[in-house]
Chains A and B, each alone.
Chain A
Amino acid sequence: KAGVTQTPRYLIKTRGQQVTLSCSPISGHRSVSWYQQTPGQGLQFLFEYFSETQRNKGNFPGRFSGRQFSNSRSEMNVSTLELGDSALYLCASSSSLIGAGGGYTFGSGTRLTVV
């Protein structure tokens, strides 16, 4: 079956612009989480969505937002981009809330570069 699909794979944006990243989870998976990965900070949690509801939010500024649609696809948006937002953004899906004992399947990520 198809894995987690993230689009686009690569993105170059200018400071001050905004960006929208997309994630399509594995068919049937209702939980989607987003992580920011950087060499210095590792995997930092952004949000977790389940059935269109945000269940958890990480310690990121309000410039970072997300949503989940009825088909479980998810988007995250970053407004007023800063150089420090350059990172690999990973989406992960699970068949249930992570607390129910399931593991994540990660997508290949979107590499965002802010110049």
Chain B
Amino acid sequence: QQPVQSPQAVILREGEDAVINCSSSKALYSVHWYRQKHGEAPVFLMILLKGGEQKGHDKISASFNEKKQQSSLYLTASQLSYSGTYFCGTQGRTGTASKLTFGTGTRLQVTL
């Protein structure tokens, strides 16, 4: 089942912060985050494996609450280069659930 992302779209001024949420109805083993710019392939940002884990990548970080089956991506002091569509990908523990299932994406636009 496809994870639900919110918001669907957000517009920021450069320097502002944003949070993108990803929620799943199934038990999760991991959460991935990717960014796709228009006309380009999705690019891997980070993976979170453990409940409560947080990771950072420059000014982009994420958290994973395994019990709530939720993950959030935090973008601080946004830059123009952050514009794009962000996808979370969720993975269950075993068997067919172990495939990586992507949310429908959050379109982020950073303006001057």
Q: Chain A: residues with CB nearer than 8 A to chain B?
A: 4, 33, 35, 41-45, 48, 55-58, 90, 97-99, 101-109
Bound CA–CA A72/B32 (angstroms): 23
Please report the total number of B residues contacting A with Cβ < 8 Å: 25
The stretch of B12-20, B36-44, B65-73 that contacts the partner chain: B36-44
**CB pair A103 B32 closer than 8 Å:** yes
**CB pair A98 B41 closer than 8 Å:** no
**Contacting residues, chain A, for B47 (C-beta < 8 A):** 101-103
Bound CA–CA A4/B87 (angstroms): 19
**Contacting residues, chain A, for B43 (C-beta < 8 A):** 106
Bound CA–CA A44/B99 (angstroms): 11
- A46: shortest Cβ distance to chain B, in Å? 10
- A82: shortest Cβ distance to chain B, in Å? 22
Bound CA–CA A97/B100 (angstroms): 11
